[in-house]
Structure 1
């Protein structure tokens, strides 16, 4: 039995038509939107609320929490709003819930003057520098968690977590799958490339998000039950589950964001096939930075990336065999055949319109 979930980060243009990021968007600006969205009591205990209480709903504000001299947050610098689905036993169920949650968010956001736009990397800000600078307490907090030290990256990048788990899978097998997905990551991430903008203009490739984050942030994260099951690595491949519903979860974190949610269905089917597959032998604990950067620049125009993506897609299709989810792979076959990602479309529109904001308005 497979289980599926999706976490999807949404960026916005504000009332003035500017990209709404931490430089001129307050926590309260997004909080007024989230406040009006519904709460579903039956979602718990499968959704984690967290210590700060920000994650009370299917929607929550993604950002960087600030502290004074204790564990109580005093502020949160906002980056956007994340939507997360509950756990589903079928892929389409997760995608349908995401679509409905996005529709509700979009309706409310627009009423407050915010327009959801597709972004996988902040088109204007290249780094996040907390203002005021971090205090001693915050520095000590971050030093305790190596992955938290990359806030300068996650505050300017947006992307999905595609979550998948299999009932009764052993920890050993779980970690093996995590290492497998980390190895094949540079070949499958081009299906989603959607971050061709950097520092107010076009970047010289297809995914600045992939180019900058890989190697510093996890491609795959596996949630284990106990501390002694962790494998030491930077970035982390393993993490101790924070609630029982997280035990055994495999989170694939390297894809760019998609504004066509059926593509998430295709990608979850691809990951499901890769979990079932027993032919692909590549394994890595830490993502291959150089290969991801090559992939980020050229995507499927690079013959090595293209050939391996084809091999991975075929292996997934064969492993799914007569599973109905095999049909969900069709959009990936089309992308591979055309060697085109969302970034190609965004670049072309920018060349015609000359404005990043105008291009972003045409997403979703």
Structure 2
């Protein structure tokens, strides 16, 4: 759907980042759900500090796995009574507490990522950021879902498609606007705006140009496979509010008071926050913060009129396949960047970060293009170990 300019958010912004990371072993192979045990991930997380002061911002979850800012990310298998009986990990996630600036959120994330990298190295693991599993395209429940799990899957579009996330990695970038209130219609409008413009926002993050052990036909196998069946953006509402009946969801009830009013963008590929997380040479620091500034500007803008309650899967596939080589995608990215810059005029920190995105757009450069260039130069595919020549 499209409409008028809708709600323009104003005032201060609060930020949080959820950062998913894959894990490589010392030989360069990917430690995934088929080869990685929950005990291995738990051994890393157990060494990291528990900081109770953050709990008012962070959800723990029913299974109790998310007790820290770092936790095992994966798929929870439940028995017929709804009790956790197995956990299949896909990596580790870092989540920040909520901060009053992009700089503070990104600084906190970098500090936690550095600590994770040091601890993981002691266990023979290296956290890396890429968007799609380079060798496996699917995760299948084995054994098949039981009656309780099937009921859970039917409870929401996201539960039904939860298995898709097991072969993908990417950040959730969270924004809230304390002075704008928590009106459900306003929050849904903000999420619908980001959903509409998502195909033009995501190319900056593309980091999944490999699939099934070889270069994929485009730059983001993650976007092509995932966005459409799963949301691009979510608005978190008061538990008493009525949710919009969309598939996938656009609105969700907040699980804790601190989530009410949060806008969460979920469609970016994984992006590195540290040089060590970059799976190809030439990583660029500060991309998560720049993307937060971009989302801030789009939501503060009053000229972009597009709105969609569900992602345009075809537009996302077009962006995933062609990236900025497609004139329409490139033009759309330039339009959202220009609108964001205009909306944030007078805020130097935001504008400096947006200028870094302009450089990437002008060069048509993102993590995927660097990964492909490294592969063409003989650098292989991150996460796949190739036998030495003659072996």
Normalising by structure 1, we get a TM-score of: 0.96
TM alignment of 1:35-74, pairs within 5 A: 35-74=46-85
- Which residue of the other structure, out of 271, 282, 292, is the alignment partner of 1:258? 271
Residue of structure 1 in register with 2:381 after alignment: 356
Moved more, 19-28 or 225-234: 225-234
What is the deviation of 1:252?
A: 0.4
3-state DSSP of counterpart to 1:24: coil
Partner in structure 1 of residue 353 of structure 2: 328
- TM-aligned CA deviation for residue 16 of structure 1: 4.1
1:323 shift after superposition: 1.6
Query: How many residues in Structure 1 have an aligned counterpart in Structure 2?
Result: 360
Structure 1 residue 227: Cα displacement: 4.5
Are residue 108 (structure 1) and residue 119 (structure 2) matched?
yes
**Is 2:249 the counterpart of 1:236?**
yes
* Match runs of 1:159-170 below 5 Å: 159-169=170-180, 170=183
What CA RMSD, in Å, does the superposition of the two structures yield over aligned residues? 1.4
| More helix as a share of residues | 1
Alpha-carbon separation, structure 2, partners of 1:223 and 1:295: 27
Instruction: Tell me the alpha carbon deviations over residues 139-196 of structure 1, each in whole angstroms, 9 at most, x when there is no partner.
Output: 1121112211112310100000000010142322211111110000001100111000
Alignment of 1:263-342 (within 5 A): 263-324=287-348, 325-342=350-367
- Aligned residue number for residue 4 of structure 2: none
Q: CA deviation at 1:229?
A: 2.8
Q: What is the DSSP-based 3-state SS (H/G/I as helix, E as strand, rest coil) of the residue aligned with 2:252?
A: strand
Q: Counterparts of 2:150 and 2:235 in 1: how far apart (Å)? A: 26
Are residues 87 and 114 of structure 1, via their aligned partners in 2, closer, same or farther at CA, if it must alter by over 3 Å?
Answer: same
Q: Which runs of 4+ in 1 moved over 3 A?
A: 357-360
> How big is each residue's C-alpha offset from its partner over 1:294-329, in whole Å with a ceiling of 9 and x where there is no partner?
000111111011111111101100001102322221
Using the alignment, how far apart are the partners of 1:65 and 1:116 within structure 2?
A: 21
Deviation at 1:354, TM superposition (A): 5.2
Give the structure 1 partner of residue 236 of structure 2: 223
In structure 2, distance between residues paired with 1:133 and 1:275: 42
Q: TM-score, normalised to structure 2's length? A: 0.90
Residue 90 (1) aligns with residue 114 (2): no
2:138 match: secondary structure: coil
Q: Any conservation in 2 of the 1:349–1:359 contact (CA below 8 Å)?
A: no
